Amino acid sequence: MKKYQLCSKEELNLEIEKLEKEYDKYKSMNLKLNMARGKPCKEQLDLSMAMMDVLNSSADLNCEDGIDCRNYGVLGGIEECKRLLGDIIEVPSKNIIIYGNSSLDVMYECISRSYSHGVLGEKPWCKLDKPVKWLCPVPGYDRHFAITEYFGFEMINIPMNSDGPDMDMVEELIKDEMVKGIWCVPKYSNPDGTTYSEEVVKRFANLKPAAKDFRIYWDNAYSVHHLYDDNQDFLLEILDECKKAGNPDLVYKFTSTSKITFPGSGIAALATSDRNIEEIENQMGIETIGFDKVNQLRHVRFFKNLDGVKKQMKLHANILRPKFELVLDEFDKNLSDLDIAWWTKPHGGYFISLYCREPVASFVVKDCKDLGLTLTPAGSAYPYHLDPDNSNIRIAPSFPALDDLKVACEILTLSVKLESAKYLYNNK
Ligand SMILES: Cc1ncc(COP(=O)(O)O)c(C=O)c1O
């Protein structure tokens, strides 16, 4: 088939009839498939089952400082766990706080604290006369945008380039004192799989925002989540760059073991400057006596060190890589000649972004739903769920089995073809 853009109305009509027959074939199969969320599959979860055996009723549950992990205490996390998570995100243990099971919760917590009590002596955001403004590189992570929407912030789209957010725009917008922060997923971003270049990281570290309480929310969720041994993205460490730039307090950096061990039962951490750590721990001491140290100990005894984590990530990659490659092959096979879509080819992380050339993403997602395939709703990767081009569809290949993934890709590419052909036919 030639490029749809070059087809006559008659040719498009014939193509639509053919595609609708295929559509009916899939409809009669009563499928139930899901590519909506970036969840590890069962085989990935099984990789961490041995972690359940490192502690038992006769285990010594004292951490290396001699503290009994079963009891209260140790607000910011046990030292060996700080070291392990610090090594994962290249930060000294003194600049780490260990939390509970979710980094998203830590991000919410940081915004909530800034909103109710302010940042390092600045006015709390809830007492400002106007709503806080927040920069949102797009497409981005829907749950980030949900947090800033929940607090009533005005979210401003920042286009993503192939090397990170449009920094000219960021540098311009932070001259406004009401701009208090930016969401960043700097490595293998959700959903494009982009890694910020060294130049972009340096420009971030050198920002001079008008607001003293402006913070970069640096969500390093996919720091060690490579798909390949040889083709790995490199991300410059930002806290160190901030220090060099004389901006040590500018960044809150987040991570978790959600996609290393068990999402929901992993460990989350925040890394930041000494001053920020002090302020946050003061507030934390009101909130809790300490998080789950037994889980911290369990993770450390399972991995031992960063090498242990890297070995585990290779096992994850062995499961994930064929899934990513299957999706990319199917897209190539079914879409590349037609010039109706393009897509990202990440070296890591959990997502592939598919972009429809025509504004049909919401119709594609609806068709897929009708055929039994659940996708992330169109627009999810944009603040307020508004994709200005109705183009982006986030693909999460990790959860379905390979056979299901192939059928899911057939349905998805069929729907992209059908909706693109219909759009072009109606606009001829
Ligand atoms: C960029 C990003 N940050 C955070 C999370 C959630 O992390 P956690 O399980 O630590 O809350 C996800 C999950 O998909 C994610 O993609």
| 150-168 pLDDT, tens digit each | 999 999 999 999 999 999 9
Q: What is the pLDDT of residue 428?
A: 86
Q: What is the pLDDT of residues 64-75, one digit of tens each?
A: 999 999 999 999
| Distance between CA atoms of residues 137 and 139, nearest Å | 6
Q: What is the pLDDT of residue 37?
A: 85
> Which of 44, 107, 143 most suits a substitution to test ligand 1, by most atoms within 8 Å of the C-beta?
143
What are the C-alpha distances in Å from 202 to residues 190, 206, 207, 239? 21, 6, 9, 10
**High-pLDDT (> 70) share of the chain, %:** 100
In the chain, domain spans: 4-44+310-426, 61-304
Q: What is the pLDDT of residue 269?
A: 98
Distance 263 CA to ligand 1 centre (A): 9
Q: What is the pLDDT of residues 314-338, one digit of tens each?
A: 999 999 999 999 999 999 999 999 9
Over residues 202-208, the mean pLDDT reads 98
Backbone angles phi and psi of 183, in degrees to 5: -85, 135
Q: Which two tokens stand for residue 401?
A: 């089995």
Is 88:310 a contact under the CB 8 Å cutoff?
Answer: no
Distance 75 CA to ligand 1 centre (A): 23
Q: What is the CATH number of domain 4-44+310-426?
A: 3.90.1150.10
Q: What is the pLDDT of residue 101?
A: 97
Asked if 4-44+310-426 and 61-304 have one fold, the answer is: no
What separation, in Å, do the N-terminal and C-terminal C-alpha atoms of the chain show? Answer: 18
Q: What is the pLDDT of residue 1?
A: 81
**High-pLDDT (> 90) share of the chain, %:** 99
| Distance between CA atoms of residues 28 and 159, nearest Å | 40
Over residues 96-125, the mean pLDDT reads 98
- Assigned architecture for domain 61-304: 3-Layer(aba) Sandwich (3.40)
Over residues 95-119, the mean pLDDT reads 98
| Distance between CA atoms of residues 248 and 184, nearest Å | 17
Distance, CA of 311 to chain centre: 22
Q: What is the pLDDT of residues 234-262, one digit of tens each?
A: 999 999 999 999 999 999 999 999 999 99
Q: What is the pLDDT of residue 51?
A: 98
CB-based pocket (< 6 A), ligand 1: 38, 102-104, 141, 185, 190, 219, 221, 256, 258, 263, 268
Nearest CA to ligand 1 atom 12: 221
Is 244:204 a contact under the CB 8 Å cutoff?
Answer: no
Q: What is the pLDDT of residue 352?
A: 97
Contacts of 53 (CB under 8 A, 6+ apart): none
Over residues 212-238, the mean pLDDT reads 97
Is 331:409 a contact under the CB 8 Å cutoff?
Answer: yes
Residue 428 CB neighbour total at 10 angstroms:
10
Is pTM beyond 0.95? Reply is: yes
Nearest alpha-carbon partner for 155 in 168, 193, 139: 139
pLDDT of 196 higher than 90: yes
The one-letter code for the residue type at 424 is L
> Coil, helix or strand for 152?
coil
Distance 327 CA to ligand 1 centre (A): 22
Q: What is the pLDDT of residue 300?
A: 98
pLDDT of 420 higher than 90: yes
Distance, CA of 417 to chain centre: 28
The mean predicted confidence, pLDDT, of the chain is: 97
> Which of 103, 376, 398 most suits a substitution to test ligand 1, by most atoms within 8 Å of the C-beta?
103
